[in-house]
């Protein structure tokens, strides 16, 4: 009996639990996704994402000052432009909304690492992530050019990192070459490598006004039942020069994060997406879940599966609980 394993021995006090804890989420692991809109003094609540807002550049800077003060190292920016057209022209405009936000943030908070989402869906009138062929399909190679121009314009505005989320084939290589040609070779790429066609992006599409006007994204985002294919996508992006690879969404895809961890040495990011946030918030607002414990358990699970970095709308609250 004396040599019998008794797991409870090391669970008896918080002190001993702290000592043998295998996974610890740190504020340094968190990236806070934020939405920026034209205007001044705007802080507009996003209905489907209680607690999240769309900010104009001035209020974004103030909110980021608070976020940085909590110890969060980085934000990911999404822009909602004044006007949309079939080519998503505003995405790469030097005076575009993200470009303005980046330069204001870098001037005010030089130590905050500003990542920009590189995609066309918020900027195209049809809401797809690229340029359409006459038959309404997304044209892969015409889109690459627009993505590369967009990434370069973000980096010229001062973005510290670019994050392509479009799922076109070859975009990492196209962006890497364009950045290098523009003398922006030091700007890293975090690629949304294994991005699934997920129902959990629903609330984001309200926030970013980016729902496709016809069809869906299943022709370019990954099919949820596929597991091996994720490694294929990740390898391709690393071969093309991705510095960090991402799995998205996070919670329903923890197996994919674990596979990635077992197979690649590069840093892995996981995106705890809008629908994951909203379902937890809805349960909390109904009094069905205890928020602090539920959020920290979710973030810990994502890290335990193998993620180094977690993109999450819970970042500000979690940072307060974790201590900066
Ligand atoms: C743009 C993009 C999306 C998300 C991040 N970048 C939406 C989509 O692909 O439809 C989703 C983020 C979230 O749900 O929080 N391509």
pLDDT of residue 324: 57
Work out the average pLDDT over 71-82.
97
Which residue has the CA at smallest separation from atom 7 of ligand 1?
201
Indicate which atom in ligand 1 lies nearest the CA of residue 211: 10
Supply the pLDDT for residue 1: 58
Ligand 1 binding pocket mutation candidate from 118, 119, 204, 206 (most atoms within 8 A of CB): 204
Q: Is the pLDDT of residue 54 over 90?
A: yes
Quick one: fold of 25-322? Answer: TIM Barrel (3.20.20)
With the most atoms of ligand 1 within 8 angstroms of its CB, the residue from 119, 128, 193, 272 to mutate is 119
Decide if 281 is catalytic. Answer: no
Burial class (CB in 10 A: 0-12, 13-18, 19+), 10: exposed
Q: Is there an atom of ligand 1 within 6 Å of 273 CB?
A: yes
pTM for this entry: 0.97
Number of the ligand 1 atom closest to the C-alpha atom of 313 = 15
State residue 215's pLDDT score: 87
Q: Looking at residue 308, what DSSP letter applies?
A: S
Burial class of residue 205, CB neighbours in 10 A (0-12, 13-18, 19+): middle
Catalytic residue among 84, 106, 248, 303: 248
Percent of the chain with pLDDT over 70: 99
Query: Could you confirm whether 195 is annotated as catalytic?
Result: yes
Residue 311 host element (H or E): strand 309-312
Distance, CA of 190 to chain centre: 9
Ligand 1 touching residue 165 (CB < 6 A): yes
**Ligand 1 center from residue 288 Cα (angstroms):** 27
What DSSP line would sit under 56-81, residue for residue?
-HHHHHHHHHHHHHTT--EEEEEE--
For residues 77-84, average pLDDT: 96
Each domain of the chain, given as residue ranges in start order, spans: 25-322
**pLDDT tens for residues 5-42?**
999 999 999 999 999 999 999 999 999 999 999 999 99
The pLDDT mean for the chain works out to: 96
């Amino acid at each position: 009996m004396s040599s019998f394993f008794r797991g409870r021995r090391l669970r008896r006090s918080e002190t001993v639990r702290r000592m043998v804890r295998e996974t610890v989420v740190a504020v340094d692991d968190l990236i806070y996704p934020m939405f920026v809109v034209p205007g001044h003094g705007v802080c507009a609540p996003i209905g489907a994402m209680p607690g999240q807002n769309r900010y104009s550049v001035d209020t974004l800077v103030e909110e980021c000052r608070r976020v940085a003060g909590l110890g969060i190292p980085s934000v990911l920016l999404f822009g909602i432009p004044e006007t949309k057209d079939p080519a998503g022209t505003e995405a790469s405009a030097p005076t575009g909304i993200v470009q303005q936000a980046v330069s204001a943030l870098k001037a005010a908070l030089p130590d905050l690492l500003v990542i920009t989402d590189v995609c066309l869906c918020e900027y195209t009138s049809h809401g797809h992530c690229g340029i359409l062929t006459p038959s309404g399909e997304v044209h892969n190679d015409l889109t690459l050019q627009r993505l590369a121009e967009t990434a370069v314009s973000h980096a010229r505005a001062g973005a510290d990192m670019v994050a392509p989320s479009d799922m076109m084939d070859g975009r990492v290589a196209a962006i890497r070459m364009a950045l290098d040609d523009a003398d922006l070779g030091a700007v890293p790429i975090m690629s949304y490598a294994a991005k699934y066609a997920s129902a959990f992006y629903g609330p984001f599409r309200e926030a970013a006004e980016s729902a496709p006007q016809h069809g869906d994204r299943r022709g370019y985002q990954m099919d949820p039942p596929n597991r091996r294919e994720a490694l294929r996508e990740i390898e391709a992006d690393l071969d093309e020069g991705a510095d960090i690879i991402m799995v998205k969404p996070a919670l329903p895809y923890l197996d994919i994060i674990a596979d990635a961890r077992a197979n690649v040495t590069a840093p892995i990011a996981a995106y705890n997406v809008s629908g994951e946030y909203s379902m937890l918030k809805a349960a909390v607002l109904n009094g069905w879940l205890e928020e602090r414990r539920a959020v920290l358990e979710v973030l810990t699970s994502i890290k335990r599966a193998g993620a180094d970095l977690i993109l999450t709308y819970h970042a500000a609250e979690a940072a307060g609980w974790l201590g900066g």
